[in-house]
Structure 1
Amino acid sequence: MTLARLDEVLADAVSEGRGVGAFNVIQLEHAEALVAAAERTGLPVVLQISENAVRYHGSLAPIALATKAVAASVSVPCVLHLDHAQSEALVEEAIGLGFTSVMFDASRLDDDTNRRTTRRVVDHCHGSGVSVEAELGEIGGKDGVHAPGVRTDPADAARFVTDTGVDALAVAVGSSHAMSSRTARLDLALIAAIHERVPVPLVLHGSSGVADADLVAAVRAGMTKVNIATHLNAVFTAALREFLDAHPTVVDTRTYLGASRTAVADEAARLLELLAGR
């Protein structure tokens, strides 16, 4: 199947009142698990490759092309998404590799430069048929830059979308990146207020720290794209540890990575259905 654009997938979700799961790909096993979950549930999925993952692999193309090939093998819509890209050169490379969406993160720049740079990226990506997500308010707890307690102002968010032309907006409403416990408290009233003012779908970053009931409530309040990475990494690692503890003499990597892949597929399928309101 041809990869889907993020704006189209999110537009369908908004019209149907459901959320869309966006999960990070680090190894090939992640891509296989996430696509299997999408196929099992019949729901779209956003396959996210972050700039951090690119640094881990040393380049974008190998993991991107492998993920693209896995996504092309199924009938459900899959978005190939470059996540938290700060480099315009990396965005350009992603376009050339066939990505259908990028999250351009210029939030570390001053506000005027963020808007101006993001507008330039949006114009270029739209000319290539690629959707763009961006970030205005800082999301707590990442690299010491995103300050805890920061919240997005609805009026400022609306102006940012007008100034930049982005297709989706990540907002700060109480979650934090890389949380290993699901104890975040979302400001549901703020989500609803931003949703009322902002004409594009909203994105929740740091969703690994949010409990199931609050994820459902966030979607009902107006959130559409929900990013979950750390939680699935914990599932992957727990399954690997459990398998190796039970089979201490195993050396075939396919056995324990296969167990992790199955565990991630099961949890991703559960999350996709949860966000879809099933």
Structure 2
Amino acid sequence: MPLVSTGELVADARTSGRGVAAFNVITLEHAEAIAHGAEQAGAPAILQVSENAVKFHGGGPSGLSAIAAAATAVARASAAPLSLHLDHVMDVDLLRAAHPEGFSSVMFDASKMSYGDNVKATADAVRWGHERGIWIEAELGKVGGKEGEAPLDAHAPGVRTDPAEAAAYVADTGVDALAVAVGSSHAMTERTAALDHALIAALRDAVPVPLVLHGSSGVPDAEIRQAVASGMVKINVGTALNTAFTGAVREYLAGDAKGVDPRKYLAPAREAMAGTVRGFLALL
């Protein structure tokens, strides 16, 4: 079916009191697995491509074009409602390349900047995006675990998002959704994160836009359910797919040390990721 917009999927989920999952795409198999899992679950999903994934495919607008074309083709061939989202973008040139490639939404990440610079850069990104009908997500607080960053305690003082600051930030930037730091962390391979549900509810009450949970791969099922009930809407999942992918490849190669055809291990890897997608969509 035709691509749907991320804004539409998030708004529908918010209105119905449920969450919508956004899954990271690195390879063609990731996109196929997300589409297949969404079809099996009978649920919508967001295909999101990060700036790091674009760098993996060569970087810049050309790297974006390649992975975007693949994800778009998979989404249009799918029976599930799927949108295309560009995630954790710090490069302004990459932000501006999103529109011609069919992305309906971008997460513009100025979280490493000072508060004042973050507000200015994000407000500029929002103005640019809204002129083109692009939904813009931003981040306030420190969700640790990003590649190249020092380890960060998700419960350390000053890390979590402050509700009053969040309200001012949303008002000053005009963002369409806000990723917040509430106890999760990127790149977790074990689901042991404990979220601050009182803070989620306070943030929900403080800002008029949907909340986004980054680092959901490390959050247990019960915590995700409660987070959605407390006000989280967009649930980002990346590492859980990679864990399923790598585990299936390792298992296959352990039993076929002489195999050289990548299709033999990519097929079970893709199916393992589809199973992970089904699980998260059922949860939401």
Calculate the TM-score normalised by the size of structure 2: 0.94
1:122 aligns with 2:126: yes
**Which residue is 1:136 aligned to?**
140
Superposition RMSD on alpha carbons, in Å? 1.2
Q: Is the contact made by 2:240 and 2:276 (CA closer than 8 Å) also made in structure 1?
A: no
After superposition, the C-alpha distances for 1:183-202 in whole angstroms (9 at most, x for unaligned) are: 11100110011011111110
Q: Is the contact made by 1:138 and 1:146 (CA closer than 8 Å) also made in structure 2?
A: no
1:170/1:91 CA distance change after superposition, 3 Å: same
Report the alpha carbon displacement of residue 130 of structure 1 after superposing the two structures with TM.
Answer: 1.1
Report the alpha carbon displacement of residue 181 of structure 1 after superposing the two structures with TM.
Answer: 1.2
Which residues in structure 2 correspond to 1:159-174 (within 5 Å)?
159-174=168-183
Which residues in structure 2 correspond to 1:46-85 (within 5 Å)?
46-58=46-58, 59-85=63-89
After superposition, the C-alpha distances for 1:111-150 in whole angstroms (9 at most, x for unaligned) are: 1111111111111111111111100111123232684221
After superposition, the C-alpha distances for 1:197-223 in whole angstroms (9 at most, x for unaligned) are: 111110001111111111111111110
1:146/1:222 CA distance change after superposition, 3 Å: farther
CA distance in 2, matches of 1:251, 1:76: 33
- State the one-letter code of the partner of 2:228: V
Q: Is the contact made by 1:139 and 1:172 (CA closer than 8 Å) also made in structure 2?
A: yes
CA distance in 2, matches of 1:188, 1:3: 33
**Which residue is 2:106 aligned to?**
102
CA distance in 2, matches of 1:105, 1:145: 17
SS of residue matched to 1:144? coil
SS of residue matched to 1:269? helix
After superposition, the C-alpha distances for 1:14-44 in whole angstroms (9 at most, x for unaligned) are: 1111111111000100000001111122211
Which residues in structure 2 correspond to 1:228-267 (within 5 Å)?
228-267=237-276
CA distance in 2, matches of 1:196, 1:80: 28
CA distance in 1, matches of 2:145, 2:258: 39
Q: 2:90 aligns with which of 86, 93, 96?
A: 86
SS of residue matched to 1:181? coil
Report the alpha carbon displacement of residue 165 of structure 1 after superposing the two structures with TM.
Answer: 1.0
**Which residue is 2:44 aligned to?**
44
CA distance in 1, matches of 2:80, 2:129: 24
CA distance in 2, matches of 1:77, 1:88: 28
**Which residue is 2:13 aligned to?**
13
1:7/1:65 CA distance change after superposition, 3 Å: same
Which residues in structure 2 correspond to 1:25-44 (within 5 Å)?
25-44=25-44
Percentage identity across paired residues of the two chains: 54
Calculate the TM-score normalised by the size of structure 1: 0.96
Gaps of 5+ in 2: none
SS of residue matched to 1:267? helix
Report the alpha carbon displacement of residue 182 of structure 1 after superposing the two structures with TM.
Answer: 1.1
Gaps of 5+ in 1: none
Report the alpha carbon displacement of residue 250 of structure 1 after superposing the two structures with TM.
Answer: 2.0
CA distance in 1, matches of 2:234, 2:270: 23
CA distance in 2, matches of 1:257, 1:40: 19
